[in-house]
Amino acid sequence: MRILAIETSCDETAIAIVEAEPEENEKPVFTEVVTFINSQAELHAEFGGVFPQLAKREHSKNMIPILGNVLKDQETEIVSFSKEQIVEVENILERYPDQKDALIAFAEEHKPSDIDYIVVTQGPGLAPALWVGITFARALSYLWNIPMVGVNHMEGHIVSVLAKENSLALPAVALLISGGHTQIIEVENWGHYTLLGETLDDALGEAYDKVARMLDIPYPGGPEVSKRARAVRESGVDAKFDFPRPMLHSKDYSFSFSGLKTSVLYTIQALQKELAEKNVSHNEATPQALSNEIRDQICFSFEEAITEVLLKKLAFTFDSSSAKSLIIGGGVIANQHLRTILAKFAEERNIELHIPDLEHTTDNAVMIAIAGYFTILREDPSIAPEIIANGNMSL
């Protein structure tokens, strides 16, 4: 089964083709045929986060060039559409008038010969961004007569490990940590998931990015915060600030990072005030006025707090679960320290740890294709179905 997948839930426009075989099997093998990602992160940096209308505009602008790249070396044929088909697809593309003609012309010249299904992220994510992918996917499904389904982005993060290995002990627990999500999910089997708990406020990556912002580190600041934390950890110094560990002892699977974030903010403000009082020339003390040593310490103390929370929640989860594997998804697992402590956790508990390759931990279309495969087994794909973007879609 060959799948064309489109992902536009946040600030990455991603399209991929994945081959899934065998078709009806507990352990399908997925082969990445081609994959493209265009990240808008730099464009959003000046807004300090992802700006939905900008994301929408960029997705719509990039969709056809990326499709062109994806189909460049694939077998395609030239087709022509009837007047009725053009009218119908103009209706589908109503909200993207500037892309309409280009897409129709592209579709006429590039009908892929061997795509069995189109899949597209339906949610969760930013609704204006999701709509772009859904609309273009519907137009292609209609013009090329290829059945399609909508896919849950979080299922994509869970199954993203299957891009590199097809054998993994089930049941598993998935910990998804990204800029938009912090969730613990029980994976009874592929396609069968139970959300055990999630963050009540900020996502983990969001907390990293907010702390970064307080320290004047540009968005997305997670990697820089963790780099600074590592420098302190490697120097062997203890954490200077005792930040709160929210919900550490709550006997549930929920997270909350907003109290921790506020505590970091108050600490920074107090330090700035102290500086201003000490030195009249610093009466407008900014985060830059804090020494690098202090800023590194804040990053380190923050990371120590979130590490403890994650470990405690995972311990609670595995204490009451028969799961044999731990799957981690989402951009925050690029964090080397978290990788180290989670590997240690898995070893102590004698469970398998599965982390996708870096290119599959952040948003990508390969994971959407894989999730699409399981969705196709559960649902009835059809031509250009009325899929509604669902910003809060749950598993």
Question: Residue 374 CB, nearest distance to ligand KG4 (Å)?
Answer: 20
Q: Evaluate the omega torsion of the peptide bond into residue 65 and state whether it is cis, within 30 degrees of 0.
A: no
Amino acid at 372: G
Give me the helix-helix angle, 204-214 and 258-278, nearest 10°: 10
206 touches Zn ion (CB under 5 A): no
Give min distance, CB of 357 to ligand KG4, in A.
13
State the binding string over 357-386 for Zn ion (x if CB under 5 A, else -): ------x-----------------------
Q: Measured from the CB of residue 214, what is the shortest distance to Zn ion in angstroms?
A: 24
Minimum gap (Å) between residue 391 Cβ and Zn ion: 13
Q: What is the Cα–Cα distance from 203 to 218, expressed in whole angstroms?
A: 18
**Nearer to Zn ion by C-beta: 40 or 178?**
178
Least distance CB 302 / ligand KG4 (angstroms): 10
Question: Which of ligand KG4, Zn ion, none does residue 334 bind to, with CB < 5 to 8 Å depending on kind?
Answer: ligand KG4
Nearer to ligand KG4, 309 or 376 (CB): 309
Structure tokens at 116: 């069995």
Report, in Å, the least distance between residue 50 CB and Zn ion. Answer: 11
Note whether 177 and 257 are within 8 A (CB): no
Binding partner of 331, given ligand KG4, Zn ion, none, CB within 5-8 angstroms per partner class: ligand KG4
Q: CB-wise, 10 or 148, nearer to ligand KG4?
A: 10
- Residue 231, sorted as left (phi over 0), alpha (psi -120 to 50) or beta, turns out to be alpha
- 374: its two tokens: 């399981």
For Zn ion, the closer of residues 186 and 363 by Cβ is 363
Q: Over the range 203-220, which residues count as b (16 or more CB within 10 Å of their CB) and which as e?
A: bbbbbbbbbbbbbebebb
Q: Which 170-199 positions form the footprint of Zn ion (CB under 5 A)?
A: 178
- With CB cut-offs between 5 and 8 Å by kind, which of Zn ion, ligand KG4, none does residue 220 bind? ligand KG4
Angle at which helix 97-109 crosses helix 83-92, to 10 degrees, equals 130
Would residue 266 be called left, alpha or beta, if left means φ above 0 and alpha means ψ between -120 and 50 degrees?
A: alpha
Question: Given the complex with Zn ion, which of 219 and 316 has the nearer CB atom?
Answer: 219
Q: What is the DSSP letter of 255?
A: B
* 197 binding partner (options ligand KG4, Zn ion, none; Cβ < 5 to 8 Å by kind): none
Tokens coding 297:
């310490």
Nearer to ligand KG4, 141 or 182 (CB): 182
Contact (CB, 8 A) for 50 and 122: no
Stretch that binds Zn ion, among 70-78, 108-116, 263-271, 356-364 (CB under 5 A): 356-364
Q: Taking the complex as a whole, how short is the minimal distance between the CB of residue 133 and ligand KG4, in angstroms?
A: 14
Is the Cβ of residue 112 or residue 205 nearer to ligand KG4 in the bound state? 205
Q: What are phi and psi of 114, to 5 degrees?
A: -130, 20
Contact, 391 vs 123, CB < 8 A?
A: yes
Residue number, nearest CB to Zn ion:
363
User: Which partner in ligand KG4, Zn ion, none is near 52 (CB below 5 to 8 A by kind)?
Assistant: none
Q: Of 313, 193, 169, 320, which Cα lies nearest the Cα of 248?
A: 313
Tell me the one-letter amino acid at 327: I
CB atoms within 10 A of CB 281: 8
Between strands 2-7 and 117-123, the pairing is parallel
Beta-carbon contacts of residue 93 (< 8 Å; ≥ 6 apart): 99, 100, 103, 135, 136, 139
Should residue 209 be labelled a site residue for Zn ion when binding is judged by CB under 5 A? no
Q: How far is the CB of 148 from Zn ion (least distance, A)?
A: 20
Q: Which residues bind ligand KG4 (CB under 6 A)?
A: 10, 178-180, 205, 208-209, 220, 222-223, 226, 330-332, 334-335, 362-363
Instruction: Report the partner that residue 335 touches, choosing among Zn ion, ligand KG4, none (CB closer than 5 to 8 A by kind).
Output: ligand KG4
Tell me how far, at minimum, the Cβ of 76 lies from Zn ion, in Å: 30
Of 131, 130, 136, the residue nearest 104 (C-alpha): 136
Complex with ligand KG4: residue 10 or 143, whichever CB lies closer: 10
In this complex, which beta carbon is closest to Zn ion, that of residue 60 or of residue 178?
Answer: 178
Q: Which does 317 bind (CB under 5 to 8 A by kind): ligand KG4, Zn ion, none?
A: none
From the CB of residue 57, how many other CB atoms can be counted at a distance below 10 Å?
A: 17
Residue numbers at the binding site for Zn ion (CB under 5 A): 178, 363
